[in-house]
Every structure is written in structure tokens, then in C-alpha cells.
A and B are shown apart, each in its own frame.
Chain A
Amino acid sequence: LAKTTQPISMDSYEGQEVNITCSHNNIATNDYITWYQQFPSQGPRFIIQGYKTKVTNEVASLFIPADRKSSTLSLPRVSLSDTAVYYCLVGDRNLNNDMRFGAGTRLTVKP
């Protein structure tokens, strides 16, 4: 079973910053947080992974508070092509296949 809770859907407009929050109240000490993006009729794509504080790459930022019971994926200046389902996964990188996909958040970016 997935260890995370995310909003089912979100709407945004082009050019806005979008923040998707994921709750993982039972996160364990060795768990990492990983986000994927999935477009229709395609497989998920890895976006970003982090353990604590803040991680940034060319696509997104991941903010993780000190208690690690939640995390926020931040997408700067979204475009229509960012319309997708975003999945938050939590799991131990040292345990085989500990991460499970949940229902994800369906983000719709409007013009």
C-alpha cells in the first residue's frame, strides 16, 4: 500500500507556480521521497528525489520540512504541457521495491 496522501486534482494557469503537497505522516528514518510525472498513454517519468530540506533541479524543487511528514513539489511557471498526473512515493532506498505508487494528483494547466 502507498504510504502517501495527495490531493486528487489541482487546477492552475499558465505562468503560475504550482505547489503540490504530499502527506506522509508515517515516514521512516530511512525513507526517501520521490516524485514522478505521467502524461496520458505514457509511462511515469522521474522528476526529483530528496531526503530533507530542499532539492532543486532543472525541472522542479522539492521542499521537505524538518519533521519530514510532508513534502511539496514546486513547479515554476507551468505551461500547458505540464498537465499530467504527479505521483509522490516514499520508501527506503535500501529495501527492495519499498516504494509504491498511489493515486497521484491530476494537474490541469489552463491557458
Chain B
Amino acid sequence: ETGVTQTPRHLVMGMTNKKSLKCEQHLGHNAMYWYKQSAKKPLELMFVYSLEERVENNSVPSRFSPECPNSSHLFLHLHTLQPEDSALYLCASSRDSNQPQHFGDGTRLSIL
């Protein structure tokens, strides 16, 4: 138990669907992150929020849209995804944006 909960754990969707990934932490952390982990590739940092404001967006396609309504919740809205977007999506949080991160166990996303 890491204190970071991601739902759903698995998601299969078609390329025309719209879905959202959810991340929740009750660790009192101020920073939250989305990562993408594809097979045999390093973790790719997608988005970073610090105190509910987006501080980094690493050239992620617009079909991925993050939302951070409060410091405990982070969403990743998905629409018109491509097969190459199939991956493990990991959420993390940290006390501040430069502290060790606590990761959830991810959502395994498959695009048909």
C-alpha cells in the first residue's frame, strides 16, 4: 500500500472512445504526476502538477488531457487514442515537486 490509488487497474477501449483515469492520494502531498510506461521503454513523464497548477507538460499529444481539481485527485482524460498509446499509466505524488515520489500501481490501458 503506497497511499496512491489508481482506478481502474485495467482498461480496454476503442480508438473512438472517451475515458478517464483517476488517481487519488491522501498523503498530504502537494505534487502529482502522470507517467507512461510502454513495454521495454523507460518511464516517460507526461504531466506534473504542483499545488494544483500544471508545471510541466512534456509535449504530450492533446488526446491526453489532465485535470487536477484538488491536491488529492488527479485525472487523465483520454479521447481518440491510438494503438501506440497502449501502456501502463502511472500516477505518483510527492510532498513537493522535488521530493521522492510515491507511485500507484498504474492503469494498464489497451487500445483496440
Q: Which residues of A contact B (CB under 8 A)?
A: 2, 34, 41-46, 49, 87, 91-98, 100-104
Q: Are A97 and B106 in contact (CB under 8 A)?
A: no
User: How far is B88's CA from A98's CA once the two chains are assembled, in angstroms?
Assistant: 22
For B99, give the chain A residue with the smallest CB separation.
Answer: A93
**Interface band, chain B:** 20 to 34
* Interface majority SS (helix, strand, loop, mixed), chain A: loop
Partner of A103, one of B33, B42, B56: B42
Q: Which residues of B contact A95 (CB under 8 A)?
A: 98
Q: Which residues of B contact A100 (CB under 8 A)?
A: 42, 45
User: How far is B41's CA from A101's CA once the two chains are assembled, in angstroms?
Assistant: 10
Q: Which residues of B contact A101 (CB under 8 A)?
A: 35, 42-43, 45
